[in-house]
């Protein structure tokens, strides 16, 4: 993962840790056909989802999702910026629905 890029706050889950919400987002993305190679987020302790990041691929777009306490962060690794921002908005909406 390109460490020169910066993480952006995607959503804050008020009053609780964000891992369960992030897992719901990753599950929804997986069901929509997004590719997630690192399956460590499915383990009891959420693997690299916490404080490191999980890469997600959709066509030429690659981005990463990470949790830290009540926050979920996102980072575009490569691909079309417009598609990335569209994906961000979709994930924000999904997180509101699952909170």
**Domain layout of the chain by residue ranges:** 8-72
Query: Do 10 and 92 meet the contact criterion of CB atoms below 8 Å apart?
Result: yes
Q: What is the pLDDT of residue 99?
A: 66
pTM above 0.85, yes or no: yes
Question: How would you classify residue 85: left for phi > 0, otherwise alpha for psi between -120 and 50, otherwise beta?
Answer: alpha
Q: What is the pLDDT of residue 96?
A: 87
Positive or negative, the CA dihedral 42, 84, 88, 93 is: negative
Q: What are the 10-residue block averages of pLDDT along the chain, 99 residues in total?
A: 79 92 95 96 95 95 96 96 94 86
Q: What is the pLDDT of residue 97?
A: 85
């Amino acid at each position: 993962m390109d460490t020169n890029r910066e993480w952006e706050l995607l959503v804050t889950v008020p009053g609780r840790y964000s891992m369960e919400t992030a897992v719901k987002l990753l599950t929804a993305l997986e069901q929509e056909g997004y590719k997630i190679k690192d399956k460590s987020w499915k383990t009891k302790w959420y693997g690299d989802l916490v404080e490191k990041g999980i890469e997600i691929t959709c066509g030429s777009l690659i981005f990463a999702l990470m949790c830290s306490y009540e926050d979920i962060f996102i980072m575009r690794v490569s691909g079309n910026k417009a598609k990335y921002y569209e994906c961000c908005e979709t994930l924000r909406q999904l997180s509101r629905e699952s909170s």
